[in-house]
Amino acid sequence: MGRHALVILLLLIAPLLVEAQSGFPSAPEMQYEFVPNFLKLPPHQYLGEAAGVAVNSKGHIFVYSRSDHTQLLEFGPDGKFIRLIGDNLWGFSYAHSARVDKNDNIWTVDEGGNVVVKFNPEGGVEMVLGRKVASTVNPNPGAPPPAGEASPGEP
């Protein structure tokens, strides 16, 4: 291949190389509107660290958060607080993720409890996958674990 042919080839493929390195040049720009303090919490409620956020078919927003305890909060499309789902639920220990399926069931993944919990749209527990294991830190050595929890190392 001659030198001129190589230069022409590079000129032809250079735009393709630049396009490949820049990601997705044809991807549309995402439109959004920043709304400060969108979520309206009741005076006694604090959001904490949001580990998972999901939206159902009605535009309701579910925030799975870590505060003084793990909690699942539901807000309307306008940001108004609706309810707390699974308050003090046995499987809630350290929030990890939340999703809503096509039937508006809410699924939470709890890293600390090692469980996945499926809530129906009304907020009732439908299914629990996994088995919560007692913490390896026992404030009362020698005491049995709470009912329903396995001792560390127990299957």
Q: For residue 148, is it within any domain?
A: no
Q: For residue 86, is it within any domain?
A: yes
Long-range CB contact pairs, 103-107, < 8 A, 24+: 104/56, 104/57, 104/58, 106/54, 106/56, 106/62, 106/72
Q: For residue 81, is it within any domain?
A: yes
Q: Which pLDDT score, from 0 to 100, does residue 26 have?
A: 65
Number of domains forming the structure of the chain: 1
pLDDT tens digits along 79-120 = 999 999 988 888 888 899 999 999 999 999 998 888 999 999
Domain residues for 104? 49-130
* pLDDT at 145 exceeding the cut of 70: no
pLDDT tens digits along 60-75 = 999 999 877 889 999 9
Domain at 58, CATH number: 2.40.10.500
* pLDDT at 147 exceeding the cut of 90: no
